[in-house]
Structure 1
């Protein structure tokens, strides 16, 4: 199965990477660390190139975050709150999470959209308060693209390094990928099970 997963991502090419990164930012539990890290492995193997890979992953990340931004911008507090309360379990967020993220966004300003691209959980959640406070669309897209580009570049470099390091242990790459997927799914299921609605 691990070989199948590698081939699926690799044969999807740059469009496949962009699609996976879009999905990863809209709905958990697919980790960007796995997607772009594996892309870095393909760069090391010569089946992908760094810049097209980074661009595709960054476009996917930006568009995925833009979905959340638009949800906040178009729905607003009144219409978004019941949706989060009803479906928050599957997104593993509560309305209090949204309120805390909004307060954090208002305290630290719009540059936080850039800096939180390096945070595993908040990089997606911060898009909601950015939309709820009606941040200018072009600013959100620029800050998101720039932050995601830096993060994706680091992941690609990390995957490239890992591929070089594990060159003599190529048989471990597949099991390592499977372990990361299972760990990500387990972490998401744990959050779903432990999720508590706001009082």
Structure 2
């Protein structure tokens, strides 16, 4: 269990589109109900996978450069399309090392962060600081929060009924889907703005009528 979680998160952080967040949430919920799963070991493996995977992705991106993104675009067009790459590059240019840290909490940037930081030649010390802090806060924090929620839900279930637990899980799932939908809409809006600005700049000015 521990190695599987660390491996999936590491591969996702390296740049391979995998459901690392779903695996971590599922494992944390299992830890809340299964005594043989230690949440501290689980969280440590998740953090290690996130940090090591991002570091490998950085090295690959630095060695592979722009041709790497082109190759990934052919292999994974849904995740590494030209639009997604351009959006991620704008985030890195605007936020710098904070894009690596914040990217931990955004599915698309979580895949891009390591390789793209290497392609863009971000200084390694900046990347390393953001990578380690982001890995600890995201992986460790997610494990702690989901484990705590699972424990509360388990105690609540003993006092009440399965119906209440289903309602709580439905509320949590609905909130997560709503946040993902809002994030996707914000990304789409950000992607449309440069296109609109380019079209407006390219539009010729009207020629005044001759008198």
CA RMSD of aligned residues (A): 2.8
> Equivalent residue for 1:16?
4
- 3-state secondary structure, aligned to 2:65: helix
Unaligned runs of 5+ residues in structure 1 are 1-11, 181-199
TM-score (normalised: structure 1): 0.66
> Equivalent residue for 2:108?
121
1:68 Cα offset (Å): 2.7
1:96 Cα offset (Å): 3.2
When residues 145 and 40 of structure 1 are mapped into structure 2, their CA distance, relative to the original with a 3 A threshold, is: farther
| Matched residues, number | 159
When residues 116 and 82 of structure 1 are mapped into structure 2, their CA distance, relative to the original with a 3 A threshold, is: closer
Unaligned runs of 5+ residues in structure 2 are 174-211
- Looking at structure 1, the residues matched to 101 and 17 of structure 2 have their Cα atoms a distance apart, in angstroms, of 20
- Taking the TM superposition and a 5 Å limit, the aligned residue runs for 1:109-188 are 109-156=96-143, 157-166=145-154, 168=157, 169=162
- Taking the TM superposition and a 5 Å limit, the aligned residue runs for 1:1-199 are 12=1, 14-25=2-13, 26-43=15-32, 45-77=34-66, 79-89=67-77, 92-156=79-143, 157-166=145-154, 168=157, 169=162
Instruction: Work out which of the two has the higher radius of gyration on C-alpha atoms and give 1 or 2.
Output: 2
Higher RCO, 1 vs 2 (CA within 8 Å, ≥6 residues apart):
1
